[in-house]
Amino acid sequence: MNLSRIDLNLLVYLDTLLREKNVTRAAEQLGITQPALSNGLRRLRDLFKDPLLVRTSEGMTPTERALELQPQVREILAAVEQAVLPVTEFNAADSQRVFRIMASDYAEATLLAPLLSRLRELAPDICLDVLTPSDVSFQDLEQGKVDMAINRFDRLPQTFHQASLWHDGFSCLFSPDNPIADDFSLEAYLSAAHIWVSKTGVGAGRGMTRRDGQRMGWVDEALAEMGVTRRIRVFTRHYQVAALLATQPDLVATLPTELARLHQRDHGLCLRKPPFMIIPIELQMAWSPLLQHDAGHIWLRRLLVSTARDVSGG
């Protein structure tokens, strides 16, 4: 194939079409007419000898070939964008940049406070705009509208860059007035009333039932392997809420240890190791390939890794 015959705009079209899965929306985002984009799609199909997107009852569905191409096209475009960007230095001390960070409340409570302390010293005019997982979609991250996502992710698109911040075990948090405080055995744990909490990834969550709670999440998966279940009284998606509810005299919250320690100190709660094994979780940060080479973003990533290391003692 003669590379000189390939129009780079076609790859931009393909990237947008695969993201939007809708010709009209993709054309609006690209600032071109729908007939122009339809013509571009015809040229793409001819170039790759594949339909790429097929109209179904659910809209435009990518073919297997298109899904294979998506991360490659995204990488090519990111490299081109980086090549044409002017080389600039990032002066954190004078910067007034606003970094938009999606973070779970677990990450907010354990990582952002020490991060702000570092920013106060190194970059006093930088501002953080903190979003919740329900505020953000993978598309927002991919397009660079959000600088960073910090959470525990079950899955991430192949195009994203990611790095591990720390691994955290679990601890049980409950009131000193809870009857299980004097005899914290597995039997006592299972007899107590529990707070279920879990929120991974990005996007809006969904409602829960008692049956769902028994099969979802790290704690209940560990219990299921032993053939037992716990009695869930409250479902929540907020670690901070779960920790506050643990002050009730009959509730137990099983939480990541870094967060549990904060609330133990603040509320005088009991902190105990779970009477069974739970696989540790990994706190990760993820970002768009569009921001991979951005000088300010590189600085922020390094600061986050350094701060996480200080918090976790790693």
- The 10s digit of each residue's pLDDT in 284-305 is 999 988 888 888 999 999 999 9
- Does position 277 have pLDDT exceeding 90, yes or no? yes
| Mean pLDDT of all residues in 224-240 | 91
pLDDT score of 283: 92
What per-residue confidence (pLDDT) applies to 72? 85
Classify 24 as helix, strand or coil: helix
Choose between 30 and 93: higher pLDDT. 93
Residue type, 81: E
Q: What is the pLDDT of residues 179-220, one digit of tens each?
A: 999 989 999 999 999 999 875 555 444 544 555 544 467 899
Q: Can you give the CATH number for the domain in which 237 is found?
A: 3.40.190.10
Same domain, 175 and 273: yes
Q: Is residue 79 part of a domain?
A: yes
- One-letter identity of residue 77: L
Angle at 184 between CA 181 and CA 185, to 5 degrees: 160
Q: Cα separation of 73 and 80, whole Å?
A: 11
Domain boundary among 55, 84, 113: 84
Query: Which secondary-structure segment (H or E) carries 225?
Result: helix 218-225
Provide the mean pLDDT of the chain: 87
pLDDT in tens, 170-180: 999 999 999 99
Which pLDDT belongs to residue 215?
Answer: 47
Asked if 46 and 39 count as a contact pair (C-beta separation under 8 A), the reply is no
Q: Is residue 90 a part of any domain in this protein?
A: no
Distances (CA, A) of 138 to 26, 43, 153, 185, 234: 16, 28, 12, 42, 29
**Do residues 236 and 299 both lie within one domain?**
no
Residue 89 lies in a domain: no
What pLDDT is recorded for position 204?
45
The structural domain count of the chain equals: 3
Is 289:170 a contact under the CB 8 Å cutoff?
Answer: no
Structure tokens that stand for 244 in this block:
């506050």
Mean pLDDT of 105-122: 93
- Do 203 and 54 share a structural domain? no
Does one domain contain both 122 and 178?
Answer: no
Please provide the distance, in angstroms rounded to a whole number, between the alpha carbons at the two ends of the chain: 51
User: Which bin fits 31, alpha (ψ -120 to 50), beta or left (φ > 0)?
Assistant: left
- Residue 5: the pLDDT is 64
Domain extent, residue 295, equals: 98-161+284-312
Where residue 8 sits, what CATH number does that domain have? 1.10.10.10
Predicted local confidence at residue 71, as pLDDT: 84
Last residue in a domain, options 84, 118, 142 = 84
Looking at the fold, whether 174 and 270 belong to one and the same domain comes out as yes
pLDDT of residue 203: 47
Whether residue 70 is found in the same domain as residue 142: no
Contact 180, 189 (CB under 8 A): yes
Question: Could you tell me if 175 and 157 lie in one domain?
Answer: no
Query: Using one digit for the tens of pLDDT, what is the confidence trace for 47-76?
Result: 899 999 998 877 789 999 998 888 888 888
Say if residue 211 is in the same domain as residue 122.
no
Amino acid at 290: L
In this prediction, residues 27-41 reach a mean pLDDT of: 88
One domain for residues 184 and 264: yes
Q: Is-contact 136 149, C-beta < 8 A?
A: yes
- Examine the pLDDT at 148 and tell me if it is beyond 90: yes
